[in-house]
Amino acid sequence: MPTAAASGTFAIAGELEVNRLGFGAMRLTGPGIWGRPDDVENAHAVLRRAVELGVDHIDTADSYGPEASEELIAEALHPYPENLLIATKGGLVREGPGGDWPKDGRPEHLKQACEGSLRRLRLEHIDVYYLHRPDPNVPYAESVGALKELRDEGKIRHVAVSNVNLERLAVARGIVDVAIVQNQFSVTDRRARDVLAECERGGIGFVPWAPLDAGALDPAGPVAEIARRHEATPMQVALAWLLQASPVMLPIPGTGSLEHLEENVAAAELRLDDDELETLDALAR
80 is catalytic: no
Which residue ranges form the domains of the chain, and what is each CATH number?
7-281 (3.20.20.100)
Tell me the chain's radius of gyration from C-alpha atoms. 18
- Report whether 89 contacts 132 (CB < 8 A): yes
Q: Is 106 exposed, middle or buried (0-12, 13-18, 19+ CB in 10 A)?
A: middle
Read off the pLDDT of residues 209-218 as tens digits, 9 standing for 90 and up.
Answer: 998 776 666 7
Could you say which of 64, 129, 130, 140 is catalytic? Answer: 64
**The pLDDT of residue 219:** 81
Phi, psi of 198 (to 5 degrees): -65, -35
Kindly state the average pLDDT of the residues 259-279: 97
Read off the pLDDT of residues 88-142 as tens digits, 9 standing for 90 and up.
Answer: 999 999 988 877 899 999 999 999 999 999 999 999 999 999 999 999 999 999 9
Phi, psi of 242 (to 5 degrees): -60, -45
Coil, strand, or helix at residue 27? helix
The region that residue 87 occupies, defined by phi over 0 for left and psi between -120 and 50 for alpha, beta otherwise, is: beta
Q: How far apart (Å, rounded) are the C-alpha atoms in residues 159 and 204?
A: 11
Instruction: Pick the range with the lowest mean pLDDT from 148-152, 265-269, 280-284.
Output: 280-284
Question: 225 Cβ partners below 8 Å, 6+ apart?
Answer: none
